[in-house]
Structure 1
Amino acid sequence: MLFLSSTLLCCAAGAQAQVWKQHLPQAKMLGGGEFRWWGFSIYTARIWQQTPNKDGGLDQNASFALEITYNKSISRERFVDSSIDEIKRLHGDKFNADKLKLWRQYMEKAFIDVKSGDQLIGVYLPGTGCRFYSQQTLLAEIPDESFANAFFSIWLDPRTKDNNLRQKLLGNNKSSAASTDPSM
């Protein structure tokens, strides 16, 4: 099977604007919160979107960015394994082993080892797929809409492991959306 998912591009180290903002130049933060596991802060997540839904929350049919700032080190392998496990938990047998193997390959190209303070950003592009960024660098473009939907469901599906974080990301807790500057 032809593997078209990984394109690596580099940007100037001193770039001022967030590279992912080329897809969402007028993005505003809709919501955000912290993911904790057994009391430990794992990461802080924020959702950015140009045009929220009529209630001011996330429109999941329009482009958005999920920005994650890590509070601890996580290996690429663990990130990929956890993502596949969550997709399987949320979607059961909907995706066969070959599809999951392909998606694992996508993620192995797109993700990197992270340490505390590192940031990964996933940009959902409806009808197209998604892109993944680290700080100012495009890590991968994945032209697979079913992968993009399954991946972002880890945070946005009602059956997510942390529904409180989901509600905050969706913009249902407006007190979490204090900042509107993605350079923060």
Structure 2
Amino acid sequence: MTTRRSLCLASLACALPLSVGAPAWANPVAGSPDLALQNPRTVGQARLKVWGFEVYDATLRADAGFSATAFERHRFALELSYLRSFKGSDIARRSVDEMRNIEPVTAEQGTRWQQAMTQLFPDVQKGDRITGLHLPGEAARFLLNDRLLGDINDPDFSRRFFGIWLSPQTSQPRMREQLLGLNARPS
């Protein structure tokens, strides 16, 4: 981790008082209403397996009134609890590939978004959790093990990024059904 990034993360951690034991996405913080969900409930859970390898467990949490058909209009948290280790740059690259499979992404968007995610996403180890918060019309906010990583301030990115899991065009339709609580059988 670079010194600059370490200093930035340290200053952010000090500036954000969080309740002990509760995840950061679940804590309303004075002066920062966008950091948290107000009254989160678990919408659904699923496990991603690829070629027999368990990759991560996903949990979708949202406030009351969340609509699967209009997910992009709602604030929600999607937590990925990793079951294997991955490089942050590989997560970023795969995310852009998945976004392209859902709808067209220009070369400029793909490059910009992959660079932003590569700068933000650390390498993860088994047991690490990356939580993404969808802030509709504003940004995507990311946390690692309940510590703020930062935001990508692009509403189009946020909608498309979370579409990897929640769009009807996802490459993992059964996982989508489970996350959205649409009566799919567990994997």
Report if TM-score (shorter chain) is over 0.5: yes
Residue 10 of structure 1, aligned match among 8, 13, 24: 13
- Deviation at residue 174 of structure 1 after TM alignment: 8.2
Find the counterpart in structure 1 of residue 85 from structure 2: 73
Which runs of no fewer than 5 residues in structure 2 stay unpaired? 1-7, 29-35
Count of residues paired in the alignment:
166
Deviation at 1:17, TM superposition (A): 1.6
Q: Does 2:149 match 1:144?
A: no
The alpha-carbon deviation at position 28 of structure 1 amounts to 0.6
CA distance in 2, matches of 1:14, 1:130: 22
- How far has the Cα of 1:14 moved from its partner? 8.5
Q: Which residue of 1 aligns with 2:47?
A: 34
Match of 1:45 among 55, 58, 67: 58
Is it true that 1:170 corresponds to 2:180 in the alignment? yes
Correspondence for 1:181: none
- The Cα shift of 1:162 comes to 1.3
One-letter amino acid of the counterpart of residue 144, structure 2 = S
Residue 113 of structure 1: CA displacement? 0.7
Deviation at 1:116, TM superposition (A): 0.9
Match of 2:167 among 154, 157, 168: 157
* 1:63 matches 2:75: yes
> Displacement, 1:175?
8.3
Give the C-alpha shift of residue 145 in structure 1: 0.2
* Contact 1:26/1:50 (8 A) holds in 2: yes
The reply to whether residue 98 of structure 1 matches residue 108 of structure 2 is yes
CA deviation map 1:120-149 (0-9, x unaligned): 000001011110001121101121100001
What is the alpha-carbon root mean square deviation over aligned residues? Answer: 2.2
Counterpart of 1:86 in structure 2 is 98
In 2, the alpha carbon distance for the partners of 1:166 and 1:123 equals: 17
SS in 1 for 2:125: coil
Alignment match, 1:110? 120
Confirm or deny: 8 A CA contact 1:30 1:58 kept in the other structure. Answer: no
1:19 equivalent to 2:24? Answer yes
Give yes or no for contact 1:31–1:174 (8 Å, CA) kept in 2.
no
- Relative to its length, the structure with more helix (as a share) is 2
Secondary structure in 2 matching 1:67: strand
Deviating beyond 2 angstroms after TM superposition, the runs of 4 or more aligned structure 1 residues are: 11-15, 173-176
Question: TM-score if structure 1 supplies the norm length?
Answer: 0.82
Alpha-carbon distance in structure 2 between the residues aligned to 1:118 and 1:13: 19
